[in-house]
Structure 1
């Protein structure tokens, strides 16, 4: 697949050849849904489990008389009303970490990249070396990007700091490319270094291990 290579100023720098096995697949909604669901589930943190009555090591012996003691008629010290007692209806540890086959995860990432290539919302840059936020904002205006833009570069450099205050712009290193952030973006901007790293990542045995 041939796609135009642009400079950050919006000028054409020729064409770049994209691997059809990574950028030329037909997206499938069921695969993308499975990967996004898995990715969001992995982000959920479980509550720390609290000790309930059965988890507290205290005596179960009735410690007072039923009548005449002047206090409530408690049966044991494990009751929730006592300091150190078991909590009533406490938080339980839940498993929000489902598994997903590595091949499905790799396929989902390829399809997410292919969806932007097919829709024409993929921009390939020859480089992304900018250190000033105002300068970067001007460059984005010439690239005709969408309302929500994801930029993936080879490594995290000064340009990542320059993009922090730009509304609707997110930046990721190539190693952090994932399905959820890619399909959420209106425009996907890849540098040539990111393209090389992504294609090399899928060329390895087993493909990708990230979402």
Structure 2
């Protein structure tokens, strides 16, 4: 498929041929759901487990006589009420790092890209060279492109001026092609790719 290429100033800059194997996949909601769920679970941090009563190595010898001592009848120094004893109902380590087949992850990325194409929400630009790292200038460029919520994906490295200019803009994010992922693509209304980003994404998915 062929799409028009624009500049940041919304001027025409030729066209580009997109790989059908990357940008022409059918919409698979089940695949997108699996990949997004996997991404969000990978973000969760695991709590550091506390040593509970069974994990503490302390004497089990009875502390005193059963009766006549004037104090409670304790039988184990590992009990939670003692200093150095086990934690009562402490946090336990839980695993939030599920695995997901590499083919499914690759298919999920291609599906997300294809969904943006089908919705007409994919914009291809020549590059992200802004010249002057001014937020005001970038807002004018975005208004010209009709973008209020957009994910910009550059090639191997993000243009420094563009990254500085969009740092304070809500729902405008930028990342290199290696960081492109299903969750961020679906979380923005418009996906903006540079020519370099298209080449790297096609190589990443087809490789």
- TM-score normalized by the length of structure 2: 0.95
Aligned pairs (5 A) from 1:84-103:
84-103=84-103
- The residue number in structure 2 matching 1:71 is 71
Q: In structure 2, which of residues 99, 121, 140 is the aligned counterpart of residue 138 of structure 1? A: 140
Runs of 4+ in structure 1 deviating by more than 3 angstroms, as ranges, are: none
Structure 1 residue 71: Cα displacement: 2.1
**Aligned counterpart, 1:127:** 127
Alignment correspondent of 2:59: 59
- The match for 2:166 among 163, 166, 191 is 163
Instruction: Give secondary structure in 2 for the equivalent of 1:87.
Output: coil
Q: For 1:124, what is the secondary structure of its paired residue?
A: strand
Aligned counterpart, 1:150: 151
> Which stretches in structure 2 are left out of the alignment for 5+ residues?
none
Mapped to 1, the partners of 2:173 and 2:82 lie a distance apart of 50
**Which has the higher mean CA deviation after the structures are superposed, 37-46 or 156-165?**
156-165
- Helix, strand or coil: the match of 1:88? coil
The 2-side partners of 1:105 and 1:84 are apart by: 46
Once the two structures are overlaid, the 10-residue window that deviates more, 181-190 or 155-164, is: 155-164
Higher mean displacement: 57-66 or 152-161: 152-161
User: CA-atom RMSD, angstroms?
Assistant: 1.0
Question: Does 1:197 find its partner at 2:200?
Answer: yes
For each residue in 1:83-114, what CA deviation from the matched residue of structure 2 results, as whole angstroms up to 9, or x when unmatched?
A: 11001111111111111110010000000000
